[in-house]
Amino acid sequence: MPPVRRRRFVLGAGLAVATLSSGALPRLARAASLTPTPRQTEGPFYPVAIPADADNDLVKVAGRGREASGTLLRLQGRVLDVNGRPVAGSTVEIWQCDHQGHYLHPGDRGPRDEDFQGYGRAVADGGGGYSFRTIKPVPYPGRTPHIHVAVLAPNRPRLVTQMYIAGDPQNARDFLYRNLGADGQRAVTVELGPVSGNEPGALAGTFDIVLLA
Ligand SMILES: [Fe+2]
């Protein structure tokens, strides 16, 4: 790609994210320095053993005929640095409870939905893009709906965070969410909307993850 076009693309990428995450703040000022995605606790339910099927489709477990219960969620986003440049090759991991609030973890006695993978990973493409097919997260005692996310990018420390759903009434009562403050909350809160296509009732959301340089 010619240098001029490449620069234009990078600037455009930064603006797009700044527009999503900064509201009425000046776009150009924020494009040069995006809000880093805040760190959050890993919690006790990162898998003890990574499942045999650990791909980016958590709704379909290899070898099982049925798909997971719950509301289908197509989650996508990009891994970026604070200047809006894609961080290609990053491994994005997600883990979350099933539609009844149970994790793929021996510390959770279930019963869990065996058709839900519980954990998945994806590698960001050249534009930093990643995607998952999963379910809309549900609350469990003491927590608002969330998806745990970890990102391992080349030559950077591992980032562990959590993603939340915009407008969920339980967010305001969630200790970890409240502790983030307004900027942090904005950086990890995702609007969900309907998906057009052949998956009735499915939702989609975009979670861009910003790593410190
Ligand atoms: Fe959790």
Q: Name which residue leads in pLDDT, 200 or 111.
A: 111
* Residue 14 counted as domain residue: no
Q: How far is the CA of 95 from the centre of ligand 1 (A)?
A: 8
DSSP 8-state class, residue 24: T
Task: Compute, in angstroms, the gap from residue 15 CA to the centroid of ligand 1.
Answer: 31
Q: What percentage of the chain has pLDDT greater than the value 90?
A: 81
This prediction has a pTM of: 0.85
pLDDT: which is higher, 106 or 5: 106
172-209 burial code (b ≥16 CB/10 A, e <16)? eebebbeebeeebbebbbbebeebeeeeeebbbbbbbb
- Residue 86 CA to ligand 1 centre (angstroms): 27
Q: Give the pLDDT score at 31.
A: 53
pLDDT at 198: 80
Bridge-based pairing of strands 129-135 and 189-190 is unpaired
Q: Which residues surround ligand 1, an ion (CB under 5 A)?
A: 43
Backbone angles phi, psi at 148, to 5 degrees: -80, 140
Helix (H, G, I), strand (E, B) or coil at 143: strand
Kindly state whether residue 78 falls inside one of the protein's structural domains: yes
- By residue range, what is the domain housing residue 126? 33-211
CATH code, domain with 109 = 2.60.130.10
For residue 114, report the distance from its CA to the centre of ligand 1, in Å. 18
Task: Report pLDDT digits (tens) over 75-117.
Answer: 999 999 999 999 999 999 999 999 999 999 999 999 999 999 9
CA of 22 to the centre of ligand 1 (A): 27
CA 147–ligand 1 middle distance (angstroms): 7
Q: Is residue 23 part of a domain?
A: no
Look at residue 15 and tell me if it is in a domain: no
More confident residue, 11 or 201: 201
> With bands split at pLDDT 50, 70 and 90, how would you rate the model's confidence at 29?
very low
Total domain count, the chain: 1
Residue 82 in domain: yes
Domain-located, residue 9: no
> For the CA atoms of 201, 20, 40, 211, what is the dihedral angle to 10 degrees?
120
